[in-house]
Amino acid sequence: MRFKIEARPQPSARMAYLSPLIAVGLTLFTGLILSTLVGTNPLDAFYAFFIAPIDDWYGLGELGVKAAPLMLIAVGLAIGFRANIWNIGAEGQLAVGAICGGGLALWFYESSSVFLLPAMIVAGCIGGMLWSSIPAFLRTRFNTNEILVSLMLNYVAVLILSYLVHDPWRDPSGFNFPESRLFTDAASLPIILDGTRLHAGFIIALLVVALGWVFVRKSFVGYKMQVVGMADSAALYAGFRRKHMVWIGLLAGGGAAGIAGISEVAGPIGQLLPSVSPGYGYAAIIVAFVGRLHPVGILFASLLMSLLYLGGESAQMLLGLPSAVTGVFQGVLLFFLLAADLFINYRIRREPAVSPIVAATAADTEVTP
């Protein structure tokens, strides 16, 4: 008796939903083994990682604070990813969003107008779009690789932000340290859950996720983008214009990342700093894929990802585990997810025992993943 991996006639819809659950299960199991090996009670580890961080309202608020930028960016990126447009520049688009929106907050520092905050968010969105329009323009006009261009622009954007807070926008009474003034209340996102840091940016993020869902599932453009992603030549034959897709894909990612940027500085940070993101722009790429490039999946993936971050901190605090454990957990999760994804397109079949000669021929034709 032997096992064989063979291609499914068509991708399994059931496995597409099951695979993340299997991955999470296997990650937990690996976590149990790992924690036993390092001499920690696995139940303590489980508690520290998954329960302790969210066992009160503050913790749940933190989960939202951390998940909001991740889901925002991931939903935007997914729109492009579905059409094979690879925007790796969300980190920079986030920074430009923070610059544009935050600049408005500093420019109208004395203002207490109710329009200031909405204007900042719009400015952040436009800023992110402008930044992502550079790779879009270069791609559509000169056919440059948007992966490289968008990635390189991350460094440019972060350095522009660094320049601004080191000189022109530096807090005049801040001992020359590179920070802007703290934003006024009129320029800060309100807290939506008392006693926590959960801010209105979380609601914006949920709205964007809903918008993303409508775009992907209900709009014709969303459909066209998916066709482009799945069968480029078919899309071409149908008369879909590839250039439009590139623009939409990159602008959606840039706009969402820009909103995430201004939500961070007008939310939990409250001022412009040389670094406004602990790598959300990159982590969101993982979130987008763990969430199957689907808005609802992304919603859950962002919550899971942020729980892993919080859990890593809490494991340090409660169990004295090093911070690298968080990285290990994220890596293990991705590893299992990719492994489990194999079974969307392939299945394992048990074969009856066969004679050696036949087995040899069978081995030649075996599908190797």
* Residue 348 C-beta: closest distance to other proteins, Å: 27
Q: 165 vs 225, which CB is nearer to other proteins? A: 165
Nearer to other proteins, 41 or 219 (CB): 41
Long-range contacts of 34-38 (CB under 8 A, 24+ apart): 34/328, 38/321
Alpha carbon distance 346, 178 (integer Å): 54
Q: How many Cβ atoms from other residues are within 10 Å of residue 102's Cβ?
A: 31
HSE value, Cβ hemisphere, 13 Å, CA-based, for 54: 19
Q: CB of 366: closest distance to other proteins in angstroms? A: 39
Residues contributing to the site for other proteins (CB under 8 A): 41, 43-44, 46-48, 51-52, 54-58, 60, 62, 65, 159, 162-163, 166-167, 174-179, 182, 197, 264, 267-271, 273-278, 310, 313-314, 316-318, 320, 322-324
Q: How many CB atoms lie within 10 A of CB 294?
A: 19
What's the min distance (Å) between Cβ of 210 and other proteins?
A: 24
**Residue partners of 171: CB distance under 8 A and separation at least 6:** 177, 179, 180, 181, 271
How near is the Cβ of 265 to other proteins at its closest, in Å? 9
Cβ atoms of 60 and 54 within 8 Å: the answer is yes
Is the Cβ of residue 50 or residue 343 nearer to other proteins in the bound state? 50
Least CB distance from residue 197 to other proteins, whole Å?
Answer: 7
For residues 357 and 302, what is the distance between their CA atoms, to the nearest angstrom?
A: 51
Residues ≥6 apart with Cβ < 8 Å to 91? 154, 157, 158, 257, 277, 279, 280, 281, 282
11 versus 327: smaller Cβ distance to other proteins: 327
Instruction: Work out how close the CB of 171 gets to other proteins at its nearest, in angstroms, rounded to a whole number.
Output: 11
Q: Which is nearer to other proteins, 166 or 242 (CB)?
A: 166
Residue 213 beta carbon to other proteins: minimum distance, rounded to whole angstroms: 27
Q: Are 254 and 77 in contact (CB under 8 A)?
A: no
User: Alpha-carbon torsion 292, 298, 300, 306, what sign?
Assistant: positive
Are 311 and 49 spatial neighbours (Cβ–Cβ below 8 Å)? yes
Tokens 């520290």, located at residue: 48
Using the minimum distance from each CB to other proteins, give the nearer residue, 60 or 221.
Answer: 60
Query: Which residue, 136 or 321, is less far from other proteins as judged by CB?
Result: 321
Cβ 161 to other proteins shortest distance, Å: 11
In whole angstroms, how far apart are CA 1 and each of 262, 346, 352? 60, 19, 5
If the CB atoms of residues 45 and 256 are measured against other proteins, the closer one turns out to be: 45
